Structure 1
Amino acid sequence: MLLFAISYLAGGLTLLSPCILPVLPFVFARAEASFWRGILPMLAGMAATFALVATLAAAGGGWVVTVNEIGRAAAVVVLVVLGLSLLSPVVATIVAAPFVALGIRLLPNHETGEVNVGGSLLLGVATGLLWAPCAGPVLGLVLTGAALNGANGRTTLLLVAYAAGATTSLAVAVLAGGRVLAVMKRSLGIGERIRQALGIAVLAGVVAIAFGFDTGALARLSYASTAGIEQSLLERFGASPAPVRQEGLALNDATVPAYQSRLPVEGALPALDGATAWLNSAPLTTQSLRGKVVLVDFWTYSCINCIRTLPYLRAWAETYREQGLVVIGVHSPEFAFEKKIDNVKGAIDRFGITYPVAVDNEFRIWRAFRNNYWPALYFVDAEGRIRHHQFGEGGYERSEEVIRELLAETAGHRPAQADEVAPHASGVEAPPDLAALRSGETYLGYAQATGFRSPQGLGMDQPRNYTIGDLAPNTWGLSGTWTIASDHAEAKAPDAALAYRFEARDLHLVLGPSADGRPVRFRVTLDGSPPGADHGADTNADGYGVIADTRLYQLVRQSGSVRVRRFEIRFLAPGAHAYAFTFG
């Protein structure tokens, strides 16, 4: 129930965000209408359409995106009719001629100002198809849960709550705006000018949406303006990372340890029986782990943040094994290729992982922990209780303190003073240069793509010839023939290239070979020249490398001062798959 309330509040915050600007003219076009006949049906249609499309898009795949794009195009046409018709009665008559039935239902009568309920609902549906709400932490949490658990009634209700919050704030704004417009018309006698101004505003909103401003620059501004408020809501009222129910412990005086850590109890260790397979170990159970301190790490092998955590996990597993620590990796895949057992085995060998790994392809263990992060570390005491968690990379000093506290609690004495582990981390496992990091993770599949700047636009599931064009910082483009799928882009011809303008010490790219497994050679350049001393672990000084398997490749590590650079990778044969950029 709490998450529904938070979703409603987060939806209400969208009124404070720039991304709502293209929608406002359509809403204010009904400001003078009756609330019950003009405003409420429009807002209801908007909320219902958004909730339906967002639910399907979270779990439906590329066909939903295609259908929604068609719906957006149709909605743009409908709203152009509205905008032109608001400019003058003469224009309304001309424009409405081919759409008589639609015009009569959609447009207010110029003489009486009366509106039709069906027209208001249709306007709301059109607006809902165009509405791209600010994707802050709350909406991201809802959509991530839908993607992992599938579309269900709870997902739809959460999206309805989010949309209801937004429409509530819009209703308040339009009611207030309607009163302001009425006063202006009475006192200034400029009713027709107000109508024309609204028409111009509607057309400006249509242009903004048609050119993608609602999902581009305005969405990024919106995230910056409201994400902090939403995140504070989640942190203050969000659900616990694991079940909070705590079973009573039947301990007598003889078994109570002399030392008791002050770490809180966050929940009980969930069952581990949802794994698809176990690697490096026979299947482990909560019963078999009783008496051991357990560290559970949720990871996936192409995740750069997970990779940079591995040196510490290996060191802790080795250092504290004899004292009773068991480290368990739970591999929960982000991309489809990470579900292949052989790929996971190859990653385990490549990273030198010797502790047990549960392959969680169905996200059953993930859901049992109510987890939402890669990486996520859960620290479990000898009684099977979760006592601490760490989300994201970092926090290594505190994590090791927790391990030693729980081991000492099991042994019955205070933790002894000891030096912290200092693992050697090189190549892709080395920690990031956070002071110089100005670029963020960027997906290349159309389902989550951001920052795409090729003039031809983002195609979906069909070959298209691209040119890169001018790139601003943190944008990317393609040249040559590519097919963009939901989670990756595939080079369809030799000499296809991918460019990114970035600012970070390290540039990584998740890449895979051709569909039939043939390796693909490539060459990297920085600002049009071979990288030289700035080459990554998977390229040489001349920029050459080979995609032999699907994984994260380190292509650039700048050896000197970090500045904005133009990266380009050119594939010398067709078939390469590119998934996501990450930086360090």
Structure 2
Amino acid sequence: MSLLFLSFFAGVLTVFAPCVFTLLPVVLGGSLGTRSWRKPFVIIFSLSVSIFIFTFLLKVLSLFADVPQSFWQIVSGFILVVFGIVTIFPELWDRFSYRLGLSAKSNQLMQEGSEKEGLIGEVLVGMALGPVFSSCSPTYALIIVTILPEDFSTGLLYLISYTIGLALTLMLIAFFGQKLTSKLKWAVNPHGLFKKILGTIFIILGIGIMSGFIAKFENYLLSSGLFNVTNIEFNLLENMEDNKTTTNNSGEQVELSVKNPYKAPEIQGIEKWLNSNGETIEGLKGKVVLIDFWTYSCINCIRTIPFVEGWYEKYKDDGFVVIGVHAPEFSFEKDFENVKKAVGDYHITYPVAMDNDFATWKAYDNHYWPAHYFIDKEGNVVHTHFGEGKYDESEMVIRYLLGLDNMSDVENKDVNVPITSNQTQETYIGYNRIERNSNYSQIAYDTQKTYTADTNLSSNMWSFGGDWKIEGERAIARANSTITMKFNAKDVYLVLGAEQESKISVKVDGQLQHLGADANENGEITINEKKLYKLVHSDEFLKDSVLEITFSEGVAAYAFTFGS
């Protein structure tokens, strides 16, 4: 139940994330101009319901999947602008109601009409903000992307917990705001200066949402390090597992991350095997097994392969088995010939299972690439490790489970993953998971469109230039189209593919410099298969360098990854 609490805490933290922080004047504005609890409660409750409904419809039922995000931005922004105008000029609603016959002469009906007008406005404001408040939290993303599709009831519970945390925090802030203004008569005057200021803020934010400026401002806050509360969540997610320390026969301590070992789920739903005719957990009892979830275009996975292969070669005669469960991130990674070639290119000799439908992935409740599950001789999962690094600890676990005492044989004791906190994060090109893109509000789903390259990018932002067809998991270029990115890293990788041999050209800060292993001296890279290509390499960390990629006709771009 630790993720249930974390989901609630993530809702609390989301209030201080850029995607919410910039909109707090709208959410809480109602509480600062009234003595009634109804207005802030209705706005916040409507917002919470809106978040829940939009998550359910768009993410779970996949309804409105073809409706561009820009549509929701325009709708939300328009409602806020109208609400702002009515707040500044309340007599407009009275005239509108009168012309439509909504007002009456009697004081009672006028009061009821006024209450109805207020209630409708408050509900509309709250509901309008729901689409804007999406993807503010890594915990929220974990719930939507991984838990809901696999375990609907659990994911629904976590989503409710997240929404409650968000709503309660907003209500608490509204309470103190109302306490402050309750003594100020000018704050509750519907024709006063304070109401006009609030209305102006609503209009400015509405225009900002419609134009995409708010999204750019949020990205600026994140890239500058301000309000980066998501780091707190990432740290909590990484440390949810309790560690258990044990010792080997020589008295040396070995940490096992699984506090309560559990029976390893069976390998299932495998489409094809490489380097094996098929393996089962039941058939491997008596051996120590490492289940390695990976995919061949993932740079983090690629960097772990030499270590995993090294362990296999070193300990296979002692009863150690590795099963590489290949779970595809992109559709081309489901192709047997592509995976077979990658297995050969990376010199993998241990069994590899193609888990194209994620059956084994789901059985292990896995959420990461790469992910290592260590299984003892009795068939129990006793240790896990996610991501790169800690290779010496992993080898110590292998030796401990095999009953090998001499830990001095452990290699790679000083190997760490040199990643700086300022490094640009993994960046997806397709609209399903697109982030930090300056063209975002103009994107046309699955349609050819001409985009204007942004020449004034903020740190870690990127943009399309020229003619592109942007699909769910990739973007397909027309001749001479570009992608420009302001990045922070030593190495830049990009997953690319093409139906026929094509080329891209690369420049860093306008020069043929810091070229990666796949580029020739002219900065050209030949795209002859669907895989990860190394575009940039520098011995020094490049800060806010500008990468410009020019594409040939038909080249598809999937995702950037970075190294330092």
TM-score by length of structure 1 reads 0.83
Does the residue aligned with 1:474 lie in a helix, a strand or coil?
coil
1:125 paired to 2:106: no
Counterpart position of 1:291: 286
Of 396, 401, 417 in structure 1, the residue corresponding to residue 408 of structure 2 is 417
Counterpart position of 2:443: 458
Rate the CA distance shift 1:234–1:376 in 2: closer, same or farther, 3 A.
same
Residues in 2 aligned to 1:564 and 1:68: alpha-carbon distance in whole angstroms: 28
Q: Which moved more, 1:23-32 or 1:394-403?
A: 23-32
Counterpart position of 2:52: 51
Counterpart position of 1:13: 13
1:496 paired to 2:481: yes
Rate the CA distance shift 1:196–1:396 in 2: closer, same or farther, 3 A.
same
Cα offset, 1:220, TM superposition:
6.7
Of 300, 317, 331 in structure 2, the residue corresponding to residue 336 of structure 1 is 331
- Check whether the contact 2:186–2:194 (CA below 8 A) recurs between aligned residues: no
Rate the CA distance shift 1:456–1:132 in 2: closer, same or farther, 3 A.
closer
Cα offset, 1:435, TM superposition:
5.5
Identity %: 32
Q: Which moved more, 1:447-456 or 1:549-558?
A: 447-456
Counterpart position of 1:582: 561
Residues in 1 aligned to 2:129 and 2:440: alpha-carbon distance in whole angstroms: 26
Rate the CA distance shift 1:220–1:477 in 2: closer, same or farther, 3 A.
closer
Counterpart position of 1:327: 322
Counterpart position of 2:301: 306
Q: Which moved more, 1:67-76 or 1:441-450?
A: 67-76
Rate the CA distance shift 1:420–1:114 in 2: closer, same or farther, 3 A.
same
- Check whether the contact 2:78–2:207 (CA below 8 A) recurs between aligned residues: no
Cα offset, 1:319, TM superposition:
1.1
1:522 paired to 2:501: no
Cα offset, 1:172, TM superposition:
2.0
Aligned length: 545
Residues in 2 aligned to 1:566 and 1:189: alpha-carbon distance in whole angstroms: 52
Rate the CA distance shift 1:577–1:422 in 2: closer, same or farther, 3 A.
farther
- Check whether the contact 2:333–2:339 (CA below 8 A) recurs between aligned residues: yes
Write the letter of the residue equivalent to 1:524. V
Rate the CA distance shift 1:43–1:258 in 2: closer, same or farther, 3 A.
closer
Write the letter of the residue equivalent to 1:417. S
1:377 paired to 2:376: no
Counterpart position of 1:185: 185
Rate the CA distance shift 1:272–1:189 in 2: closer, same or farther, 3 A.
closer
Residues in 1 aligned to 2:538 and 2:454: alpha-carbon distance in whole angstroms: 25
Residues in 1 aligned to 2:255 and 2:416: alpha-carbon distance in whole angstroms: 28
1:469-502 deviation line (CA, Å, top 9, x unaligned): 31333222222210111211110x2212222222
Cα offset, 1:433, TM superposition:
5.3
Q: Which residues of 2 match residues 104-253 of structure 1 at below 5 A?
A: 116-132=118-134, 134-135=136-137, 137-146=138-147, 149=150, 152-185=152-185, 192-218=192-218, 221=221, 225-231=228-234, 233-234=236-237, 238=240
C-alpha RMSD over aligned residues: 3.5
Residues in 1 aligned to 2:468 and 2:187: alpha-carbon distance in whole angstroms: 59
Does the residue aligned with 1:554 lie in a helix, a strand or coil?
strand
1:436-488 deviation line (CA, Å, top 9, x unaligned): 97322111112222222359833322111122131333222222210111211
Write the letter of the residue equivalent to 1:47. S
1:60-92 deviation line (CA, Å, top 9, x unaligned): 559436165434322322221110111133455
Q: Which moved more, 1:557-566 or 1:9-18?
A: 557-566
Residues in 1 aligned to 2:491 and 2:68: alpha-carbon distance in whole angstroms: 38
Write the letter of the residue equivalent to 1:387. V
Q: Which moved more, 1:13-22 or 1:310-319?
A: 13-22
1:549 paired to 2:529: yes
- Check whether the contact 1:30–1:38 (CA below 8 A) recurs between aligned residues: yes
Cα offset, 1:146, TM superposition:
4.6
Write the letter of the residue equivalent to 2:287. K
- Check whether the contact 2:212–2:441 (CA below 8 A) recurs between aligned residues: no
Does the residue aligned with 2:280 lie in a helix, a strand or coil?
coil
1:506 paired to 2:491: yes
Counterpart position of 1:86: 87
Cα offset, 1:153, TM superposition:
4.3
Rate the CA distance shift 1:511–1:99 in 2: closer, same or farther, 3 A.
farther
1:148-177 deviation line (CA, Å, top 9, x unaligned): 538x34433432321222112112222332
